[in-house]
Chain A
Amino acid sequence: MSQNDSLYSYCLRLGDNSLILGHRLSEWCGHGPFLEEDIALTNIALDLVGQSRMFLQYAAELKGGDSTEDSLAYLREEREYLNALLSEQPNGDFAVTNSKNYLFSVFNYHLYSELSNSKDEKIKAIAEKSIKEVAYHVRHCGKWMVRLGKGTEESHQRLQDAVNDIWMYTDDMFESDENTDLLVEQGMAANLNKVRSNWLKDVTEQLKEATIDIPTDTWMMKGSLQGKHSEHLGFLLAEMQTIPRTFPNSEW
């Protein structure tokens, strides 16, 4: 694989992560537990879709031809999406949504922190821009982890159940392959071992404060880097892609 192709795949991975997580979050629009949180969830979704656009615009530029951010976002098949499994999981109750957002935001924070030193100017610029927004997401979701964990017996139990349920998808975020490893060596991509140890440190501290146990001996589901997804992505894409596929090239 040429360096250009590796960078293209890498940008797809990063762009797809934010696109799918953002789209999932947008499903809360009008359904939030209360008005302020409804606005918070959709604002976070907006930031994520914005970050995704920057990565997909760059990916389209690397691919060349007729490729655009929209064709990449809306006209690929399920197996061509490289988003991590955690991002596509259903929203569940608010405890599941918040846990998913929290775990992913901490990941993105440390990822972008590494990428702020990328030798690829474009990736560096996107990371430096995104990290400010992600830091705010971490703060918001992190506070909810503590609030729910230390809240009522029911909120604590629901949060513990949520973390138990989605923990099996966390390893998949740190998956790498030969092409990515090469980009890491060239100083363009993030060293995911480093991201992982920083992620685990923050998550361990925050969950301890929230009186939530980190599951142990969990069987880990992986495969998103090869385009192997859980059954949920297909349904999400069907909804997300329906308008652009039904009315090609329409604008509003």
Chain B
Amino acid sequence: MSTAQLSKTQKIFDLLSEVMDPEIPVINVVEMGIVKDISLEDGVSVSITPTYSGCPAMNIIATDIKTKLQDNGHTEVKIIEVLSPAWTTDLMTDEARAKLEAYGIASPNRSSVNNSDPVGTPKECPNCKSANTKLKSHFGSTPCKALYVCVDCLEPFDYFKCH
């Protein structure tokens, strides 16, 4: 790839970094690991991978990416959905994890690969940092989260499951 093309691709990535996950508005779709690839043949093609197969946010994310690029002068935008390799929370960047914690969601704190307990448990309460937390429900406000409660500060919080 030529330098000119590389910088063009980088510019698209920069634009996509302004597209936020609709359900966790502090994290962008690049940090989430949803954007897999960008191709500049015949306009712009963005390959995205779904987080959970039934996640309703995916349709909104595809539309938001398209709108973002079109608003910035890219008229021909194609969104391609790729399934393999399957999305994993391991793709989330450290910045994304830190932003999650600051937003009040405990982050998936270790690899989900080759683990006998793939979902894991939160390291600490994102509110008071106590390690003394309890599972309230396997399922939370979105498919990717479970509901926990802090035994010390009694604050309920979402845990982004390792996936």
Give CA–CA (A122, B54) in the complex, Å: 17
Complex contact A133–B52 (CB within 8 A): yes
**Complex contact B54–A129 (CB within 8 A):** no
* Beta-carbon contact of A36 and B147 below 8 Å: yes
Chain A residues within an 8 Å CB radius of B136: 36
Q: Tell me the complex Cα distance, A46–B50, Å.
A: 13
Contact between chains at B54 and A50 (CB < 8 Å): yes
Residue from B53, B118, B140 within 8 A of A39 (CB atoms): B140
Encode B54-77 as 1/0 by CB contact (under 8 A) with A: 111000000000000000000000
How far is it, in angstroms, between the C-alpha of A128 and the C-alpha of B49 when the chains are bound? 13
Q: Determine whether A53 belongs to the interface, using a CB cutoff of 8 Å to chain B.
A: yes
Assess whether B54 is in contact with A39, with CB atoms less than 8 Å apart.
no
Contact with B along A128-160 (1 / 0, CB 8 A): 111011011001100000000000000000000
* Interface set, chain B 93-152, CB cutoff 8 A to A: 112, 118-119, 136-141, 143, 147
- Cβ of A47 and Cβ of B83 under 8 Å apart? no
B84–A49 touching, CB < 8 Å: no
Residues 23 to 71 of chain A near chain B (Cβ within 8 Å): 36-37, 39-40, 43-44, 46-51, 53-54
A121 within 8 A of B: yes
Chain B interfacial residues counted at CB < 8 A: 24
Q: Which residue of B lies closest to A42 (CB)?
A: B139
Partner pick for B84 among A46, A124, A136, CB 8 A cutoff: A124
Query: Which chain B residues border A36 with CB–CB below 8 Å?
Result: 136-137, 139, 147
Query: Does B86 interact with chain A (Cβ within 8 Å)?
Result: yes
A50 touches B53 (CB 8 A): yes
* B43 on the A face (CB < 8 A): no
CB distance from B54 to the nearest CB of A (A): 3
CA–CA, A43 to B112, complex, Å?
20
A125 located at the interface, meaning its Cβ lies under 8 Å from any Cβ of chain B in the complex: yes
Which residues of chain B are within 8 angstroms of A48 by Cβ–Cβ distance? 54
Which residues from chain A contact B140 at a C-beta distance below 8 Å?
39
Closest Cβ–Cβ distance, residue A137 to chain B (whole Å):
9
- Expressed in whole angstroms, the Cα–Cα distance for A124 and B83 within the complex equals 10
Chain B nearest CB from A82 CB (Å) reads 20
B residues near A40, Cβ cutoff 8 Å: 137-139
Q: A125-B83, A125-B86, A129-B86 are in contact. Are A53 and B119 (CB under 8 A)?
A: no
Q: What does the 1/0 interface line of A105-125 toward B look like (CB < 8 Å)?
A: 000000000000000011011
- CB contacts (< 8 Å) of A50 on chain B: these are 50, 52-55
CB-contact partner of B143 in A47, A126, A135, under 8 A: A47
Which listed residue, B87, B119, B139, touches A43 by the CB 8 Å rule? B139
The answer to whether B54 and A46 touch across the interface, beta carbons within 8 angstroms, is: yes
Contact partner of A132 (CB less than 8 A), chosen from B55, B118, B138, is B118
Which residues of chain A come closer than 8 Å to B54, judged between CB atoms? Answer: 46-51, 53
The 9 closest A-B pairs by CB, nearest first: A50-B54, A50-B53, A125-B84, A36-B137, A46-B54, A125-B83, A40-B139, A129-B86, A43-B139
A selection of 30 A-B contacts at a CB cut-off of 8 Å is A36-B137, A39-B137, A39-B139, A40-B138, A43-B143, A44-B139, A46-B54, A46-B55, A46-B56, A46-B143, A47-B52, A50-B50, A50-B55, A51-B54, A53-B53, A53-B54, A54-B53, A54-B83, A124-B84, A125-B83, A125-B84, A128-B83, A128-B84, A128-B85, A128-B86, A129-B53, A129-B86, A132-B163, A135-B118, A136-B119
- Extra A-B contacts (17), CB below 8 Å, given A46-B54, A128-B86, A132-B118: A36-B136, A37-B137, A39-B139, A39-B141, A43-B143, A46-B56, A47-B52, A47-B54, A48-B54, A49-B54, A50-B52, A128-B84, A129-B84, A129-B87, A130-B53, A132-B163, A139-B119
Residue positions of A touching B, CB distance < 8 A: 36-37, 39-40, 43-44, 46-51, 53-54, 121-122, 124-126, 128-130, 132-133, 135-136, 139-140
